Amino acid sequence: MIRAVGKPLEEVIGMVQDYPRILVAGCDGCVTVCEAGGLKEVKVLAAALRLYFTQQGEPKQIDETSLTRQCDKEYLAQLGDRIDGYDAVLSLACGCGVQFLADMYTTKPVYPGVDTTFLGVTEERGVYTERCQACGRCILADTGGVCPIARCSKRMLNGPCGGSDKGKCEVNPEMPCGWQLIYERLKALGQLDRFEQPITPKDWTTSRDGGVRKIVREDLRV
């Protein structure tokens, strides 16, 4: 899932301080799971903002809501009858949600309340790690189910580099070397022969390098 972290409070204050009526809008999707932008985080952020502005002697109307998803128009439309009552929306959805909300309500200032960080997994509650960079053409079949694009700091397709040290990445001794993981996994699978087959340069057109990506599924369209 998409992982995000709340922006520093001072940054959020700087974004919304000129608006008297603010709606803090969470998303019940990915950002709820990683506890960055669900209803609970909306309530905490809204309370903190109210405390701040009240303490500053300039209280604002700061209301709370959360939508099932902010990346689907049907749910965004639910704000339609109340959004005019606000001068700005602070969205705690991922970058997709923030933009889609702004797309729908073209004259309403929309601000991001979280930093969208990566596609990852929950190692344990409160600890998330990256697993996928959505390159658009999955190569996990060749690499023992461990992605070198997401998990090697140099996204090498033929690693590990000479900086891999005791199983850790040269960038940070806390970070596992993705290629060491691939090697161990291939070994466990009895597929070490794959390790010595050079992987050819990747076609990055399906990644961000091909421009803004779009999926059209004719079988699904109505």
**Pairs from 96-99 (Cβ < 8 Å, separation ≥ 24):** 96/2, 96/70, 96/71, 97/27, 97/29, 97/31, 97/69, 97/70, 97/71, 98/70
Handedness of CA 9, 12, 14, 20 (dihedral sign): negative
State which of residues 18, 55, 190, 220 lies at the interface with other proteins (CB under 8 A). Answer: 55
* Cβ atoms within 10 Å, residue 147: 21
Give how far Cα 26 sits from Cα of 29, 50, 96, Å: 9, 17, 13
Is residue 104 part of the contact set for other proteins (CB under 8 A)?
Answer: no
Q: Looking at residue 93, what DSSP letter applies?
A: S
State which of residues 1, 5, 15, 48 lies at the interface with other proteins (CB under 8 A). Answer: 48
Is residue 78 part of the contact set for other proteins (CB under 8 A)?
Answer: no
Give 29 or 160: the residue with its C-beta nearer to other proteins. 160
Is residue 159 part of the contact set for other proteins (CB under 8 A)?
Answer: yes
State which of residues 192, 205, 210, 213 lies at the interface with other proteins (CB under 8 A). Answer: 192
110 token code pair: 């929309």
Residues 193-212 that bind other proteins (CB under 8 A): 195-201, 204
Binding mask 14-43 for other proteins (x = CB under 8 A): --------------------------x--x
Is residue 185 part of the contact set for other proteins (CB under 8 A)?
Answer: no
State which of residues 104, 115, 122, 155 lies at the interface with other proteins (CB under 8 A). Answer: 155
State which of residues 138, 140, 171, 188 lies at the interface with other proteins (CB under 8 A). Answer: 171
193 by DSSP, 3-state: which? helix
Chain length of the chain: 222
Q: 6, 62 in Cβ contact below 8 A? A: no
How far apart CA 89 and CA 179 sit, in angstroms, is 43
State which of residues 108, 170, 185, 206 lies at the interface with other proteins (CB under 8 A). Answer: 170
Give the binding site for other proteins (CB under 8 A): 9-10, 40, 43-44, 47-52, 54-57, 59, 61-64, 153-168, 170-171, 177, 180, 183-184, 192, 195-201, 204
